[in-house]
Amino acid sequence: MNLFIASSEEFNPRAEFFRLWQFQGMESDWRNRLPIILSEREISYREFSRRIGKSETYTKKLLSTDHDPSISVMIKMADTLGVSLGFLLFGTDDSPELEMFAREFVKLTRAQKRAVKAVMDTMLETSGDNE
């Protein structure tokens, strides 16, 4: 897994967010989990899509491609389903700190997100030196 983005021109907050989760040793399985949760709650794709402010086509496309939604859409999805972001993404609620980070991260400006990325990269470089 490539932990670093080659240049600031390629900075993508959504990709950085998912990269951070994966760095924590967690691989997301939300595409398999979402239909199960919808079924358990008896929520149709159409109703779910309406609640998150997206089209049904958008929701179904997300489930059939490798494209990840924005962090803010993932948060809306989790909130709509009444589950934590960690549970939706990874099936666990073991990381409340990362959930808090995600909810605060989406509020940042692009410049602030770049600053967070720089700090994360420095931390990852430093932790690699200690191994």
Tens digits of per-residue pLDDT, 40-88?
999 999 999 999 999 999 999 988 887 778 888 989 999 999 998 888 8
Do 66 and 72 meet the contact criterion of CB atoms below 8 Å apart? no
Kindly list the domain boundaries of the chain, sorted by start residue: 28-123
Helix (H) or strand (E) holding 31: helix 30-40
Do 59 and 48 meet the contact criterion of CB atoms below 8 Å apart? yes
Tens digits of per-residue pLDDT, 7-43?
444 556 666 666 655 555 555 678 888 999 999 999 9
pLDDT grade, residue 2 (50/70/90)? very low
Q: So what's the pLDDT on residue 26?
A: 55
Do 37 and 92 meet the contact criterion of CB atoms below 8 Å apart? no
- For domain 28-123, the question of CATH label 1.20.1050.10 is answered with no
User: Would you tell me how many other CB atoms lie within 10 Å of the CB of residue 79?
Assistant: 15
pLDDT grade, residue 121 (50/70/90)? confident
Would you say the C-alpha torsion 65, 49, 100, 13 has a positive or negative sign? Answer: positive
Do 59 and 8 meet the contact criterion of CB atoms below 8 Å apart? no
User: Would you tell me how many other CB atoms lie within 10 Å of the CB of residue 128?
Assistant: 9
Encoded amino acid at 3, one letter: L
pTM for this entry: 0.68
